[in-house]
Copies of this chain bind each other. A is one copy, B any other.
Amino acid sequence: MKLLNWEVGIDQPFFLICGPCVIESEQLAIDTAGYLKEMTDRLGIPFIYKSSFDKANRSSSKSFRGPGLEKGLEILQKVKDQVGVPVLTDVHEDTPIKEVSSVVDVMQTPAFLCRQTNFIRKVCEPGTPVNIKKGQFLSPWDMNNVVEKARETGNEHIMVCERGASFGYNNLVSDMRSLSIMRETGCPVVYDATHSAQLPGGQGSSSGGLREVIPVLARAAIAAGVSGVFMESHPDPSVAKCDGPNSFPMYRIEETLKVMKELDTIVKKAGFAEDSITDFGSGDLL
């Protein structure tokens, strides 16, 4: 699949979606986009800048939600113009989709909303690339129905994204089988390495996270085989206004991406044994 300027897919180098969870300020947006652009250029990783203008589904109504639609889009446009990177943002049930799609390069739908037919269709209709996050409550094979609905709009640029499955209360587990099962949708599969590290609701009025497992999960997903990786990163997660506990410290991201890049190259060069493992052999190889 052609995504923006790149070929993306299980046989192509992985692309990165990265940025702070929420747009905290114009300055932070420009700075982080620039920092990440330089780094990914250096590493040869196609890069899409991510940031949200409104965190609609915070655990508590007291949490910071972002600059709002108008100001948010303005900042994202500046990021595109000044830094020269494509941008992604997430949209919600009441987002004016056309307005957003006229600015951003990729839209992303929240995991909780993956089964809202009208919403998924509305987001896909403009034809802008869409990254559909799989619900924490959904099996990987059930994404086939979601993708079918999305494609009925004529949009050919649909991606699917694993971000962890419900595992008891206040915990998520990343099922690496999901990454290969979702390839069957025909869509590029993206792994969200930071929300997968979330401990939802685990801190009373906000969600907790295990930042230290992010590189573990990111490496594992790359080795399982994905088309892209999503990571939220912040220059200083301890003061991040959203998802700090599962945000990755930005100054540590290059070393992690470097390993991921090497792993990705090896895995994709070797090909995926799982695709032909039903060929069982005669048993007389010995």
Contact = CB atoms under 8 A, between A and B. Distances in A.
Interface of A: 31-32, 34-35, 56-61, 92-94, 112-113, 115-119, 122, 135-142, 145, 148-149, 152, 165-171, 173-177, 179-181, 200-201, 205, 210-217, 219-225, 234-239, 249-252, 255-256, 258-259, 262-263, 266-267, 270, 272-274, 277-286
When all copies of this chain in the complex are counted, the total is 4
Which of A115, A174, A258, A278 gathers most chain B CB within 10 Å? A115
A274 B256 CA distance: 10
A270 B219 CA distance: 12
A57 B249 contact: no
Contacts of A113: 93, 112-113, 116
A57 B270 contact: no
A277 B167 contact: no
Nearest to A148: B61
A213 B167 contact: no
A-B pairs, 7 with minimum CB distance: A168-B168, A236-B283, A93-B93, A223-B223, A139-B169, A166-B166, A220-B220
